[in-house]
Amino acid sequence: MFRLMLTVILLLVTSVGGSPHVHKHQHKDKVIARATTSTPDANLSFFPGPVTPCSGPGCATAGPPSSRLCPANNDTAWTGSSTAQDYTVICDIDFPATYNIYPFVLAGSFEECMAQCESFNAKRDRGEIHCEGFVFAPGRVLSSDDCYLKSSLDHPSSATISLIGTPSATPAASSSSSVFSPPKFVRSQLHGASVNHPTTKWVYHEPAKPMKLEDNLLKPGINVDLITKFDIASDTGPLTSALSPLNDELVDLSVVPHISRDGGKGGELNGHHLFIFCDTASFTTTNETHKGDMVGFTSSSVAVDEGWNGISGNSLSLVDGIGQWNDDVGRMRGFSPMTHGEESFNIVLSGGGYRYAVWPTSSIISLNKTHAIQYASLIYDEVNMFTQEAKFTALGNTLLTISVDEHYGPTAERTVKQMFSLAEVKWGTIGGIRSWGSEGIGGMDGKVYLFGQAPQGVLVARTDPSKVADKDSFEYWAGSTWTSGQLPPTATSFLIEHPIMDFDLFYSPYHKTFIMVYLTPHGDNTFYYRSLQAPHPIIPAYTTPNADIPDYDYVSEILLHPWSEEQTLYKAAIPPSGNFIYAGGVHAGYFGDEDITKGGKKMLISWTEQTGEDANTPKSGYAHMTAGVEME
């Protein structure tokens, strides 16, 4: 396997006295810089000089000759052109798990990138977000250079990042073509089925006693009151430090369960890679000679990626956190909290084939640095016990606010029990896209765009990040303007006009445009993509390039230009069961700075397929599959 070498220069500010932009915070500022080479055995000489001449405000003159910085000056002090600060250089270390503030800042030189970081910190109070360092990659984005501002320097790792497959030509950088070319598929690599590695300990706690409802509420049939009129049952949803303090006892599970689960999209949240599933069953010990017995069933669950196996082309390792277990035999608490109404109904009636489910089916939508959201589907499921045929009724959606508890794992709060209802477009259930504001990635300004699945295409709504729980704050794209009246499922002001089954849309800083990736309802085991054909490169900004567009932000461009023809991104093999694949999505951010959502060209796609085996066998009923895809 070919490896693309990356070198990191980490510059630690060691003197901050008198610096105008380092105010009350007494912690040290840190600055990273990174450059890429285009050949594996090139000299360790970065920021190849002379740097592209920089024009425009804020440009420093030539960048520092990095060959003199790395590796010779590793771990030594260095004084940049900045008069106020001293730095320390560290080479070959990357911080792939850290949060980029604005991955798409363009800077003509190393010095200019550093200036971006410093001026970011000099601006008004940004709450938690602070530029702790930066990464500079010359010539990476078309003909311009690329500058990453980092909000933390957690989880340092070696800066060698492998490419997918065996590239035939020089990857990345060097090409200084100024042609604005659309994203194109280059190659893909199948990783295979993800492997479950549940934690072997649980937080000992007395399970709450489920509430028993009155008999007249416990009969088959849809009763929305069970969703909306009851409190959250405290034995559902992941445990958190708040529910059960950290000094609680960690005890070995007496049986580490075998897990079988359906669905599995997710995304990156604060450096963690979340995979969120729908129906999940746990079983006693399951091996080649022994079929497990079912111990528990929930309609949602969550695991995190461990080890970043996908980066080296291998199948993912998914870990269920200690916050998932409700007892010592691996009965799960589930991801989405359930109401007493839903829980009680399920306990009494699920054996007869009737249940309420919460299915988080989209990729997560970033809200800010620490939180993401999902508008999870509310489902009433009725199974015919003779034919085993299931009839699912979508009762609208519920708002989950997601965060990661450092000790217990990912957790969700059920912020609105029922957000949109049966008759309405289920805005957000197929996902959305965050339009970051001037505070940068992780901030609380900007907009949240939500997609609505209509029979013949995809509709768009948007709101402010602080108002995602407030239906009345939503505005809807009516074709040429935004309207406050909710669009009906028959609306035709489509973002894209054709039926879709799964949908993701993201900004690619490398291509300076948006890309949509989707599966259609045709069941053809194929991921398709289209890119936005704007006549100009799209640079994230809140200032309008065109005074005619009211309320402009860069994401609103998705509604203003045509999309390219449908192209094939990935064709999956027909699953062993013979059924088609589903739950297809793009896991944004998986490849760190090489990720297509962060200025690179790689993306992790995932889907679910039925294995044709029983759920209580080692191959389970379902496999969560991933593949890496590289674009150019």
Ligand X SMILES: *[C@@H]1O[C@H](CO)[C@@H](O)[C@H](O)[C@H]1NC(C)=O
Could you say which of 40, 50, 58, 127 contacts ligand X (CB under 6 A)?
127
Could you say which of 1, 42, 77, 573 contacts ligand X (CB under 6 A)?
42
How far is residue 473's CA from residue 460's CA, in Å, rounded to a whole number? 14
Site string for ligand X, 399-418 (x = CB under 6 A): --x-----------------
- Cβ at position 314, least distance to ligand X in Å: 24
Q: Is 161 in the site for ligand X (CB under 6 A)?
A: no
Instruction: Please report the DSSP string for 182-204 in residue order.
Output: ---EEEEEEEEE-EE---SEEE-
- Cβ at position 153, least distance to ligand X in Å: 12
Q: How far, CA to CA in Å, does 551 sit from each of 45, 109, 475, 561, 574?
A: 45, 32, 12, 17, 45
- Cβ at position 357, least distance to ligand X in Å: 25
**CB-wise, 70 or 538, nearer to ligand X?**
70
Could you say which of 166, 168, 216, 289 contacts ligand X (CB under 6 A)?
289
- Cβ at position 400, least distance to ligand X in Å: 11
How far is residue 111's CA from residue 541's CA, in Å, rounded to a whole number? 22
Residue carrying the six token digits 């960048």: 63
Site string for ligand X, 578-597 (x = CB under 6 A): --------------------
Nearest to 34 by CA among 65, 8, 11: 8
Could you say which of 295, 367, 491, 555 contacts ligand X (CB under 6 A)?
367
Three-state SS for 227? helix
How far is residue 24's CA from residue 32's CA, in Å, rounded to a whole number? 22
Site string for ligand X, 56-95 (x = CB under 6 A): ---------------x--xx--------------xxxx--
Stretch near ligand X under the rule CB under 6 A, chosen from 38-46, 55-63, 109-117, 538-546: 38-46
Q: How many chain residues interact with ligand X (CB under 6 A)?
A: 23
| Footprint of ligand X on 443-482 (CB under 6 A) | 444
**CB-wise, 134 or 345, nearer to ligand X?**
134
- Contact, 510 vs 601, CB < 8 A? yes
Phi, psi of 350 (to 5 degrees): -65, -30
Please name the amino acid found at residue 137.
A
529 - beta bridge partners? 517, 567
- Cβ at position 260, least distance to ligand X in Å: 16
What residues have CB less than 8 Å from 286, skipping those under 6 apart?
258, 292, 616, 617, 618
- Contact, 89 vs 9, CB < 8 A? yes
- Contact, 370 vs 393, CB < 8 A? no
- Residue 71, preceding peptide bond in cis (omega within 30° of 0): yes
- Contact, 435 vs 557, CB < 8 A? no
Could you say which of 254, 287, 384, 492 contacts ligand X (CB under 6 A)?
287
- Cβ at position 257, least distance to ligand X in Å: 12
- Cβ at position 617, least distance to ligand X in Å: 11
How far is residue 163's CA from residue 594's CA, in Å, rounded to a whole number? 9
How far is residue 30's CA from residue 152's CA, in Å, rounded to a whole number? 9
How far is residue 314's CA from residue 603's CA, in Å, rounded to a whole number? 14
Alpha helix positions (H), 35-188? 110-122
Structure tokens at 522: 């045709």
**CB-wise, 324 or 366, nearer to ligand X?**
366
Could you say which of 261, 371, 434, 601 contacts ligand X (CB under 6 A)?
371
Could you say which of 285, 384, 483, 533 contacts ligand X (CB under 6 A)?
285
- Cβ at position 127, least distance to ligand X in Å: 5
- Cβ at position 552, least distance to ligand X in Å: 23
- Cβ at position 444, least distance to ligand X in Å: 4
**CB-wise, 74 or 162, nearer to ligand X?**
74
- Cβ at position 292, least distance to ligand X in Å: 8
Could you say which of 26, 43, 387, 388 contacts ligand X (CB under 6 A)?
43
- Return the HEC string of 478-513: CCCCEECCCCCCCCCCCCECCCCCEEEEEEECCCCE
- Cβ at position 228, least distance to ligand X in Å: 21
- Cβ at position 30, least distance to ligand X in Å: 13
Structure tokens at 153: 């320097």
**CB-wise, 43 or 216, nearer to ligand X?**
43
Residue carrying the six token digits 């840190």: 30
- Cβ at position 282, least distance to ligand X in Å: 15
- Is residue 369 exposed (0-12), middle (13-18) or buried (19+ Cβ within 10 Å)? buried
| Footprint of ligand X on 539-568 (CB under 6 A) | none
How far is residue 324's CA from residue 198's CA, in Å, rounded to a whole number? 9
Stretch near ligand X under the rule CB under 6 A, chosen from 181-189, 230-238, 284-292, 419-427: 284-292
Residue carrying the six token digits 């199974």: 383
**CB-wise, 402 or 519, nearer to ligand X?**
402
Structure tokens at 78: 């260095």
Stretch near ligand X under the rule CB under 6 A, chosen from 25-33, 364-372, 417-425, 534-542: 364-372
How far is residue 256's CA from residue 199's CA, in Å, rounded to a whole number? 8
Structure tokens at 353: 């084939």
Interacting residue ranges for ligand X, rule: CB under 6 A: 41-43, 71, 74-75, 90-93, 127-128, 285, 287-290, 367-368, 370-371, 401, 444
